[in-house]
């Protein structure tokens, strides 16, 4: 694994972006391809979806919508033990997300003046659930539950079909557990375009959420404006801060957990201890040979597996804030002590006994998280993503009269007489 020795003066965003290969490429091939896909879906609707599914997922679909019978069948076929796990995870996810609910509020700010904010669920949302090898039933719960807690009325879920033209049965079982019934067998950029612009079969949505590979993340970026999106949730990332007191076996296992997702996933270790860096590097090589997805992992580690050796723990934190990782594990002793200094991370895992996959599957916080440095300005998927707000304003006659001159003066300064007239007609003889 590539090792970098960084001194304090090296900790500059542009340096780190170069090392991480996060430099914007104007000839971005993925973006060019995704633009074409979106245009064709806008023009040809379902026919484009079927054609792209044949090209990318290698399967010819006769229908895009999953039937109720398919959902029931998948649910019945799933081992009861796994349904219980889904139910238990669902319970944890609901409990966590209920804490995010924002209520409508209004209060009398001064006599006869009531102001407030009305919170309303977004009418219709689209959830993306990645295909992946075994599908992502956990993402069904993570995408759907906050939408339901927010009170969204209409929810469509899309996911790529498998080689038999079916949706993975664990995804359907998770959808049944979550209570999602509108499901389409389409993924990638074409699925995102369908949700944004609508096709004969798929009615357009107001907002698209959920993670996916680089094609999905790029398509979400490009349809933003026609619809809202949650964030850029692309290939997974893990960054671990550890020192000599930490176990290299744990660190390597945690790094490999995210490398396993995708050839473009990233795994970083930041440490003050060079001998730990070398132990982790060897341990990664040893453990990956034992894993079934070793070919993907090798590519991911080759592309984006990096170890940074820094001089102090303070530098480690500064570097982590520059990287702004999706997942940050703080393994050092007294991890809570460092929490205040972490500025940018999608999710923060504290201590040696909180490996990242606990958050992927079970703890309750959302696993749909900002990647590629976007945790500098984005948050985990949450109930807040599924609501919008309207301001509430009420003035009694007397209260309006008290402030009439100020409003009229503002209107005059901006040259908007019609604005000022709305006040004048109420208080002056016509």
Ligand X SMILES: NC(=O)c1ccc[n+]([C@@H]2O[C@H](COP(=O)([O-])OP(=O)(O)OC[C@H]3O[C@@H](n4cnc5c(N)ncnc54)[C@H](O)[C@@H]3O)[C@@H](O)[C@H]2O)c1
Ligand Y SMILES: N[C@H](CO)Cc1c[nH]c[nH+]1
Interacting span for ligand X (CB under 6 A) from 64-72, 245-253, 365-373, 415-423:
365-373
CB environment 300-315: b (16+ within 10 A), e (fewer): bbebbbbbbbbeebeb
Decide: 230 and 250 in contact? Cβ < 8 Å.
no
143 vs 230: CA distance, rounded Å: 10
Nearer to Zn ion, 220 or 261 (CB): 261
Annotated catalytic residue within 237, 263, 318, 326? 326
Residue 297: partners with Cβ closer than 8 Å, 6 or more residues away: 256, 259, 260, 288, 291
Decide: 89 and 171 in contact? Cβ < 8 Å.
no
90 binds, options ligand Y, Zn ion, ligand X, none, Cβ within 5 to 8 A by partner type:
none
3-state secondary structure of 136: coil
3-state secondary structure of 283: helix
3-state secondary structure of 96: helix
* DSSP-H helix ranges across 125-247: 137-150, 169-178, 188-197, 214-223
Size of the site for ligand Y (CB under 6 A): 9
212 binds, options Zn ion, ligand X, ligand Y, none, Cβ within 5 to 8 A by partner type:
ligand X
What is the closest distance, in whole angstroms, from the C-beta atom of residue 369 to ligand Y in the complex?
A: 6
Nearer to ligand X, 90 or 261 (CB): 261
Check residue 215 for interaction with ligand X (CB under 6 A): yes
Binding map of ligand X across residues 235-274, x = CB under 6 A, - = no contact: xx------------------------xx--x---------
Check residue 146 for interaction with ligand X (CB under 6 A): no
396 is catalytic: no
For the chain, the distance separating the N- and C-terminal CA atoms, rounded to the nearest angstrom, is 81
Q: Which of 237, 263, 315, 360 binds Zn ion (CB under 5 A)?
A: 360
Residue nearest to ligand X (CB): 188
Binding map of ligand Y across residues 47-86, x = CB under 6 A, - = no contact: ----------------------------------------
Nearer to ligand X, 124 or 261 (CB): 261
Nearer to ligand Y, 147 or 238 (CB): 238
Check residue 326 for interaction with ligand Y (CB under 6 A): yes
Interacting span for ligand X (CB under 6 A) from 174-182, 232-240, 312-320, 332-340:
232-240
Decide: 245 and 273 in contact? Cβ < 8 Å.
no
The token pair at 388 is 């919008």
187 vs 129: CA distance, rounded Å: 8
The token pair at 321 is 């804030």
Q: What angle do CA 50, 53, 56 make, to 5 degrees?
A: 150
318 binds, options Zn ion, ligand Y, ligand X, none, Cβ within 5 to 8 A by partner type:
none
108 vs 101: CA distance, rounded Å: 23
24 is catalytic: no
The token pair at 204 is 């357009």
Q: Is 190 annotated as a binding residue?
A: yes
Q: Which of 121, 137, 211, 335 binds ligand X (CB under 6 A)?
A: 211
Phi–psi pair at 152, nearest 5 degrees? -65, 135
Binding map of ligand Y across residues 343-382, x = CB under 6 A, - = no contact: -----------------x------x-x-------------
* Helix axes 294-304 and 274-288, enclosed angle (nearest 10): 150
The token pair at 119 is 């919170």
Interacting span for ligand Y (CB under 6 A) from 61-69, 79-87, 136-144, 182-190:
136-144
260 binds, options ligand Y, Zn ion, ligand X, none, Cβ within 5 to 8 A by partner type:
none
- Cα→Cα distances 417→80, 208, 366, 403, 426, Å: 70, 41, 50, 17, 14
* Closest to 233 measured CA to CA, from 35, 121, 382, 36: 382
Q: Which of residues 68-127 bind ligand X (CB under 6 A)?
A: none
Annotated catalytic residue within 327, 352, 356, 367? 327
Q: Which residues are annotated as a binding site for substrate?
A: 236, 258, 261, 327, 360, 414, 419
Q: Which of the residues are catalytic?
A: 326-327
Binding site for ligand X (CB under 6 A): 33, 56-57, 130-132, 136, 139, 160, 187-189, 211-213, 215-216, 233, 235-236, 261-262, 265, 326, 367-369, 371
């Amino acid at each position: 694994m590539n090792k970098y020795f960084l001194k304090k003066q090296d900790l500059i965003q542009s340096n780190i972006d170069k090392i991480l290969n996060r430099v914007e490429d104007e000839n971005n091939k993925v973006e060019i391809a995704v633009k074409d896909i979106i245009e064709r879906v806008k023009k040809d609707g379902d026919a484009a979806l079927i054609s792209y599914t044949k090209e990318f997922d290698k399967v010819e679909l006769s229908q895009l919508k999953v039937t109720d019978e398919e959902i029931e069948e998948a649910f019945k076929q799933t081992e009861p033990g796994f349904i219980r796990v889904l139910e238990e995870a669902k319970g944890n996810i609901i409990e966590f997300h209920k804490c995010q609910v924002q209520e409508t509020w209004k209060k009398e700010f001064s006599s006869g003046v009531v102001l407030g904010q009305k919170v309303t669920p977004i009418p219709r949302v689209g959830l993306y659930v990645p295909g992946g090898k075994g599908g992502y039933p956990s993402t069904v719960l993570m995408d759907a539950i906050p939408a339901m807690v927010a009170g969204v009325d209409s929810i469509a879920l899309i996911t790529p079909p498998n080689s038999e033209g079916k949706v993975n049965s664990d995804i359907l079982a998770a959808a049944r557990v979550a209570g999602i019934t509108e499901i389409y067998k389409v993924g990638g950029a074409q699925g995102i375009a369908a949700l944004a612009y609508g096709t004969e079969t798929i009615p357009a949505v107001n907002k698209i959420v959920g993670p996916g590979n680089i094609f999905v993340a790029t398509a979400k970026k490009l349809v933003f404006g026609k619809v809202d999106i949650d964030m850029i949730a692309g290939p997974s990332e893990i960054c671990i801060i550890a020192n000599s007191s930490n176990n290299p076996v744990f660190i390597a296992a945690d790094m490999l957990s995210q490398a396993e997702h995708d050839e473009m996933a990233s795994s970083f270790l930041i440490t003050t201890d060079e001998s730990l860096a070398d132990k982790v590097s060897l341990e990664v090589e040893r453990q990956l040979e034992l894993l079934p997805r070793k070919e993907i992992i090798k590519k991911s580690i080759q592309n984006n597996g990096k170890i940074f050796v820094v001089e102090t723990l303070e530098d480690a934190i500064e570097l982590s804030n520059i990287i702004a990782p999706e997942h940050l594990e703080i393994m050092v002793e007294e991890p809570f002590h460092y929490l205040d200094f972490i500025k940018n991370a999608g999710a923060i895992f504290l201590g040696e006994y909180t490996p990242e996959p606990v958050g992927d599957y079970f703890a309750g916080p959302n696993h749909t998280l900002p990647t590629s440095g976007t945790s500098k300005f984005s948050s985990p998927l949450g109930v807040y993503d599924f609501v919008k707000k309207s301001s509430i304003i009420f003035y009694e006659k007397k209260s309006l009269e008290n402030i009439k001159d100020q409003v009229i003066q503002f209107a005059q300064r901006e040259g908007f007489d019609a604005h000022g007239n709305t006040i004048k007609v109420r208080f002056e003889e016509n």
